Amino acid sequence: MATEVPRPRHRWFAATYDVMGRAGEKQMAPLRRRLLHDLHGDVLEVGCGTGASFEYYDWDYIETLEATEPDPFMARRAREKIASLDEDARARVRLTEAPAEALPFEDGRFDAVVSCLVLCTVSDLQRSLGEMRRVLKQGGELRLLEHVAGDGARRMVQGAVQPVYGWFGAGCQLTRRTEEAVREAGFELEVWERMRFTPLHPGFLGVARKAASP
């Protein structure tokens, strides 16, 4: 039987997320746009947080957007964002409070799955990626914008600050080898762009497709 997934509850992180996000919007807006460009059909956004990406979807091409978010404080804000979308878009979005490790959707349901700054925080990285793979159609796309472990001295500093950083960052992990984990989960990963969100947050933007066999 699958083990129970801890449910995050971070009231203050949720309360400050959009305010902090506005400071980084100049960097994040084009990245979110690129992450979501050309998406169409049935899309799942995992760990949607406060719904910061909703405004960047091209709603002319999205048939349905299932958004998931396990933290009730983040989910409450995401619901407010959904309520502020225009009526036509709003009717196509549904939010479910669920973790990436146990997605409540049938196999092969989605044309695309989106993970934006989420794989750093999930409690079980491989299980989450396995679920994303399971709910994707063959030929579907896992779009990823994630920060990852650095190399050498950067990796050492990330490890040193992690205990304090993780507490303030609602469990966010600086030292995950996410690209490797994506490939190990049975995806072929195409990196479109590498960036540094901050000196401690090297990251990548790209797409992963199900490899022929895991």
Ligand X SMILES: C[S@@+](CC[C@H](N)C(=O)[O-])C[C@H]1O[C@@H](n2cnc3c(N)ncnc32)[C@H](O)[C@@H]1O
How far lies 121's CA from each of 5, 21, 58, 59, 101, in Å? Answer: 13, 17, 27, 28, 12
**Which residues are CB-contacts of 167 (< 8 A; sequence separation ≥ 6)?**
none
Q: Give yes or no for residue 173 binding ligand X (CB under 6 A).
A: no
Cα–Cα distance measured from residue 108 to residue 110, given in angstroms and rounded to the nearest whole number: 6
Which residue's CB atom is positioned nearest to ligand X?
49
Q: Give yes or no for residue 66 binding ligand X (CB under 6 A).
A: no
Tell me which residue of 204, 209, 142 sits closest to 179, measured CA to CA: 204
Secondary structure class of 141 (helix, strand, coil): strand
Q: Give yes or no for residue 179 binding ligand X (CB under 6 A).
A: no
| Residues 37-56 interacting with ligand X (rule: CB under 6 A) | 46-49, 52-53
Q: Give yes or no for residue 135 binding ligand X (CB under 6 A).
A: no
Contact letters for ligand X, residues 92-131 (x by CB under 6 A) = -------xxx--------------xxx--xxx--------
Of 47 and 150, nearer to ligand X (C-beta) is 47
Residues that bind ligand X (CB under 6 A): 5, 8, 46-49, 52-53, 69-71, 74, 99-101, 116-118, 121-123
